[in-house]
Structure 1
Amino acid sequence: MPLDALFPEFDSDLYPQTVVSLKLTGGDRECETPFHQHRKGQLVLAIHGHVTCNIGDGIWMVPTHCAVWIPSLVPHSNRISPDAQVCMLFIDPQIANLPQKSCTLSISPLVRELILHLTSLPQDYKPESPTAKLVDVLMHELVKMPTEQFDFPIPKETRLNQLAQALIDQPDNRDTLGQWAAKFAMSERTLARLVKQEVGVTFGRWRGQLHIVIALQKLSSGYSVQRVSEDLGYESVSAFITFFKKTLGRPPKQYISQY
């Protein structure tokens, strides 16, 4: 189902207010917008379920109680899981101290509640109104939120683009860098150097970022740790938990339950 069907008349750029918001509830099927852009930057906050954002050359995961920031005029699409609850915050690019590049933000309980409250109010508020004061507090807090690495970069380079799509299609594929290099008729060293040059991290780290994206997506949707471990091709649940804890600092259940 096209996501536009859920809010066909909403255009954030038609509002003179510097910040406007919108709350969406997913249906019984996954919803997605076509690629688009707008003058206002966009913050996508998942209250329940998850959102996957395709932004430029990467896939960005919005796990529950985190948010993705998309700057002004950056082309993107948003895919919302069934039964998700999502808040969209549209922010004028003139507001200072917001990230200049797309990123994932950890959202504090205070900021989350401020956004939720704003979505319940009329969006055509006056400059000196109580809603405008609420927006001032929200922006003051939002710029303090720390960033996270919940994205999976997709390079334009033909061979790495094919490799990225293959990893997305089969996240349980455990082929080594050498095995992938053989498929592209190149040496392991050459492929390793190409990945580092195009993505900025090692092959293992790159694939690990995809696993974190998928793991958070599935855990936010209620999948068990064992099921996620199997879907990602880990030899054991303990191996997956070790990887998850090393990457995000907490085991999966504790990480998800903190919200």
Structure 2
Amino acid sequence: MISKSGQIAKPLRPCYDDINLDRPDSPAVSVRLNFSEYEAEVPRHQHEQGQLILALHGAVTCRTENGIWIVPPDCGVWIPGGVPHSNQATSNARLAYLFVQPGAAKLPQECCTLSVSPMLREMILRLADVPVNSAPDDHTRRMVRVLLDELAQMPIQGLDLPASSHPKIAAITDALMAEPSDRRTLVDWAAHVAMSERSLKRLMVQETGLTFGRWRRQLHLVVALRELASGATVQRVSSDLGYESPTAFIVMFKKALGTTPTRYFSS
């Protein structure tokens, strides 16, 4: 790999190479990661511990068999232990991972987006500062206990894109994630996947719980959160999503999240 300066760039390494989850002396472990130093994509994997992914800067896309999540500001994506998932971070991403041992806290049994209070965020970052190889002292143990109690109180936010392993729905999902400005109608997609419009309409609701129109708007929201968090402008995102104007995109965003993109990312 050659850098812009013409020198040989240091190859990026998998982020899990630097994460030690074998910590039976602590119910939770936290680490910070700067993805300028690591490979952006973490392929499909699973671990015994539950995992909260917190975006400090930039964005990360988490994907499971049943959904796609973007980690937005003031939130974290919770992935229960044993759930296969993959992560794709933007190049400017700085993340915090919190790994929770099985049974250490009463947390959701399904993947979800959780609100993260300022206090909880600071406690997660404080725990990440504890040396990896040191046994937790009494202060750290008390902090972890409060941290997990606080995490269990965080409300769930509806910021996911329902997905499906059904090959026809998966094909549409992959196509629209790759080209979200594609404005083909349900009739067009039905022809593309060799189904009748009625059958695809029924299958979409059955597999995702949403009509095609609502599902595509949710996809646009998820993609917009990822791109805006990575530094793209509102004008660029609205164009990439196929909106006629930035105003039309802002209206969609505000209807979904109750505020404009600028205010959402400045909060």
Structure 1 length-normalised TM: 0.92
**CA shift at 1:30, angstroms?**
5.5
C-alpha distance in 1 between matches for 2:12 and 2:234: 31
Q: SS of the counterpart of 1:63?
A: coil
Alignment-derived partner of residue 138 in structure 1: 147
Alignment-derived partner of residue 17 in structure 1: 26
- Look up the equivalent residue of 2:113 and give its one-letter code: T
Q: Pick one of 248, 251, 255 that aligns with 2:257.
A: 248
Given that 2:105 and 2:148 are in contact with CA atoms closer than 8 Å, whether structure 1 keeps it comes out as: no
CA shift in 2, pair 1:10/1:98, >3 Å: same
**CA shift at 1:232, angstroms?**
0.4
Given that 2:48 and 2:81 are in contact with CA atoms closer than 8 Å, whether structure 1 keeps it comes out as: yes
1:120-131, aligned counterparts within 5 Å?
A: 120-123=129-132, 124-126=134-136, 129-131=138-140
Q: SS of the counterpart of 1:89?
A: strand
Q: SS of the counterpart of 1:33?
A: strand
**CA shift at 1:3, angstroms?**
5.3
Given that 1:70 and 1:101 are in contact with CA atoms closer than 8 Å, whether structure 2 keeps it comes out as: yes
C-alpha distance in 1 between matches for 2:252 and 2:216: 12
Q: Matched residues, percent identical?
A: 48
Higher mean alpha-carbon deviation, 13-22 vs 208-217, is at: 13-22
Q: SS of the counterpart of 1:93?
A: coil
CA shift in 2, pair 1:7/1:165, >3 Å: closer
1:1-259, aligned counterparts within 5 Å?
A: 4=14, 6-27=15-36, 31-123=40-132, 124-126=134-136, 129-258=138-267
Q: SS of the counterpart of 1:12?
A: coil
CA offsets 1:185-218 (integer angstroms, 9 cap, x no match)? 4332221111001111111111112111110111
**CA shift at 1:139, angstroms?**
1.2
CA shift in 2, pair 1:7/1:169, >3 Å: closer
Segments ≥4 residues shifted beyond 3 Å: 13-16, 123-126
How many corresponding residue pairs? 256
C-alpha distance in 2 between matches for 1:37 and 1:11: 15
Alignment-derived partner of residue 6 in structure 2: none
Tell me the C-alpha RMSD between the 2 structures.
Answer: 1.9
What 5-or-longer segments of structure 2 have no aligned partner? 1-10
What 5-or-longer segments of structure 1 have no aligned partner? none
C-alpha distance in 1 between matches for 2:208 and 2:159: 14
**CA shift at 1:29, angstroms?**
7.6
